[in-house]
Chain A
Amino acid sequence: AQSVTQPDARVTVSEGASLQLRCKYSYSATPYLFWYVQYPRQGLQLLLKYYSGDPVVQGVNSFEAEFSKSNSSFHLQKASVHWSDSAVYFCALSMTNTGKLTFGDGTVLTVKP
């Protein structure tokens, strides 16, 4: 069965620092991959997605993610974080093109001023 693992439950970084949030998946083929963010008192919002092509995908708010088939990973990165990036970040995959997503546990990001 497919699964998504986000090994870091909580990450704290200083404003202006670079960021990497890790995501590993388990699936026999290349799945559809997504990163969502949930800001306080809001619904999940799509940051970026990947299925094929350039393994580095750009998303909103200067986030990007890199797909690695050999490592079964889809790590999220940002060169310089802002305090407003504090939120919960979810990695997700879909095996089919139906909107049925399998989510990771989420990573709580805290950006210190």
Chain B
Amino acid sequence: GPKVLQIPSHQIIDMGQMVTLNCDPVSNHLYFYWYKQILGQQMEFLVNFYNGKVMEKSKLFKDQFSVERPDGSYFTLKIQPTALEDSAVYFCASSLVQGYTGQLYFGEGSKLTVL
């Protein structure tokens, strides 16, 4: 079936550094999402993105976070600067249409470790 690819699968960085997590969504999809899962906790919604704009974001989506999809390529999540509490697995998802009628396809996750 359709696949969402996430790069890297695991990244270790020092606190204060910048990190970019990349997501290659399903090719014809228009809606994009990031979710965050801290070890031992529930997966939580961060942000959704459509037509070059953030449509909705949660309180977890701090000012240090940004998303973009330049030139229709990777959908990226950038954190600058990183903090210890940003250590988590970040899941990207995409869908062709929004909401219930659409189906979200998730990637395997990018594990971020901030030291």
Contacts and interface: CB of A to CB of B under 8 A. Distances in A.
Same assembly:
yes
A43 B99 contact: no
A29 B8 CA distance: 39
Contacts of A4: 42
B43 A103 contact: yes
The range of chain B's interface size is 20 to 34
Interface string A94-109: 1011111111111000
A100 B32 CA distance: 11
Contacts of B100: 32, 49, 51, 94, 97
Contacts of B91: 43-44
Interface string B25-66: 000000101010000011111001000000110100000000
A32 B100 CA distance: 7
B99 A42 contact: no
A99 B3 contact: no
A25 interface: no
Contact of B42 (A94, A99, A105): A105
Contacts of B93: 43-44, 99
A90 B37 CA distance: 13
Interface string B82-113: 00000000010101001111111111110000
Interface residues of A, number: 25
Contacts of B1: 45
A99 B48 contact: yes
Nearest to B6: A43
A103 B106 contact: no
Contacts of B105: 43, 45
Contacts of B35: 101, 103
A17 interface: no
Interface of B: 1, 3-4, 31, 33, 35, 41-45, 48, 55-56, 58, 91, 93, 95, 98-109
